[in-house]
């Protein structure tokens, strides 16, 4: 997504998600085969006033000085607009899509930072070619840039959660022609992402409450709502995008001690199973709260040669 510089070394890469409640951090290093695998995954709770101090502590603790950093925008800090792709040269696309989304924004275009990523051609179903336009407020981007500038990390790029999760989906895919579904849940936020051949075909963001799930009187309602979100996503994927829904949903979150995969299993047509992190770590690895909190940071850190 938003690119800032080319990293001088790929010996290691830091993924970092800056959220209102803290910093989610992940470190990926190259193995002997030249593949990035996660070596560290940490979540540190802090408020905005403590972010710089907390990040500097992480840099010192894990000896990260000079390491390239891929920031991840939390889902509430950007919006994605699928629009008809302007018929312009590639080098003119950025400017063209900027004006196309002007009337969709609830703030001034001059205060926006905009980038785009491809919409899959085989999902058009006769519609004109489209592109996904990502919009964030420039003040949000600047705050993130300043945060990294005040550390000893070197900013490489700023990603969005959808594309960070895409990177994990690509790792766990057994067949490039079959879609992968990842359901990611943490307190306050949920999303489902459908990926095929390394391309995001569909993503849906929704509210999720862990407290409600843990409340016996509300549990059935939460399960029904989650099932509905999954089924709506699969229905859209099939009917509007002309794709075959996956037979399995890979789940991460909301907490290691919540048997949500079993709870959802009888409510949807697909099988729900816990996400296998071995492709991210290069070995068998259990899902802990650190992985749940830092999942988007993990996905960004393991990105290989993609935008």
Its pTM stands at 0.93
2-74+141-162: what fold? Nucleotidyltransferase; domain 5 (3.30.420)
pLDDT band (50, 70, 90) for residue 306: low
**Size of the chain in residues:** 307
Is there a contact between 179 and 196 (Cβ–Cβ < 8 Å)? yes
Q: Which residues contact 207 (CB under 8 A, 6 or more apart)?
A: 188, 189, 190
pLDDT at 4: 58
Report the pLDDT averaged over residues 243-269. 91
pLDDT at 5: 52
User: In this model, does residue 30 exceed pLDDT 80?
Assistant: yes
The Cα-based distances of 69 to 138, 267, 297 in angstroms read 19, 40, 10
pLDDT at 161: 96
Query: Do the domains 169-296 and 2-74+141-162 match in fold?
Result: yes
pLDDT at 88: 92
Q: What is the pLDDT of residues 163-215, one digit of tens each?
A: 999 999 999 998 989 999 999 999 889 999 999 999 999 999 999 999 999 99
Three-class SS of residue 64?
coil
Domain positions in the chain are 2-74+141-162, 76-139, 169-296
Instruction: Give me the helix-helix angle, 138-149 and 51-61, nearest 10°.
Output: 40
pLDDT band (50, 70, 90) for residue 3: low
Higher model confidence: residue 1 or residue 281? 281
Structure tokens at 248: 């399995």
169-296: what fold? Nucleotidyltransferase; domain 5 (3.30.420)
The Cα-based distances of 45 to 21, 65, 125, 140 in angstroms read 6, 22, 45, 19
User: In this model, does residue 8 exceed pLDDT 60?
Assistant: no
d(CA 258, CA 136): 34
pLDDT band (50, 70, 90) for residue 249: very high
Task: Tell me yes or no: is domain 76-139 CATH 3.20.20.10.
Answer: no
User: In this model, does residue 33 exceed pLDDT 90?
Assistant: no
pLDDT at 257: 87
pLDDT at 7: 47
Q: What DSSP state is assigned to residue 21?
A: T
pLDDT at 111: 96
Structure tokens at 75: 């889902």
Mean pLDDT of the chain: 93
User: In this model, does residue 75 exceed pLDDT 80?
Assistant: yes
pLDDT at 2: 66
pLDDT at 10: 55
Q: What is the pLDDT of residues 217-233, one digit of tens each?
A: 999 999 999 999 999 99
Report the pLDDT averaged over residues 130-159. 96
């Amino acid at each position: 997504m938003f690119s800032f510089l080319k990293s001088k070394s790929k010996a290691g890469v830091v993924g970092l998600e800056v959220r209102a409640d803290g910093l989610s951090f992940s470190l990926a290093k190259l193995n002997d085969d030249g593949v990035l695998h996660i070596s560290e995954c940490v979540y540190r709770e802090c408020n905005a006033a403590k972010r710089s101090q907390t990040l500097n502590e992480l840099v010192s603790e894990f000896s990260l000085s000079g390491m390239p950093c891929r920031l991840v925008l939390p889902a509430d800090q950007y919006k994605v607009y699928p629009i008809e792709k302007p018929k312009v040269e590639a080098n003119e696309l950025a400017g063209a899509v900027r004006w196309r989304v002007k009337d969709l924004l609830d703030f001034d275009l001059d205060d926006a930072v905009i980038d785009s990523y491809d919409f899959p051609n085989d999902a058009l179903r006769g519609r004109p070619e489209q592109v996904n336009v990502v919009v964030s407020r420039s003040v949000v981007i600047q705050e993130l840039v300043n945060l990294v500038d005040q550390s000893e990390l070197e900013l490489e790029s700023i990603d969005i959660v959808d594309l960070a999760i895409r990177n994990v989906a690509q790792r766990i895919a057994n067949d490039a022609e079959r879609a992968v579904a990842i359901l990611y849940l943490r307190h306050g936020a949920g999303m489902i992402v459908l990926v095929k051949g390394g391309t995001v075909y569909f993503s849906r963001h929704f509210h999720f409450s862990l407290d409600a799930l843990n409340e016996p009187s509300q549990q059935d309602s939460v399960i029904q709502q989650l099932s509905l979100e999954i089924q709506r996503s699969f229905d859209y994927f099939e009917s509007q995008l002309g794709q075959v829904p996956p037979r399995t949903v890979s789940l991460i979150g909301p907490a290691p001690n919540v048997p949500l995969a079993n709870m959802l299993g009888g409510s949807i047509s697909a099988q729900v199973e816990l996400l296998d992190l071995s492709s991210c770590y290069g070995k068998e690895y259990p899902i802990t709260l650190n992985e749940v909190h830092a999942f988007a940071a993990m996905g960004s850190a393991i990105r290989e040669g993609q935008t």
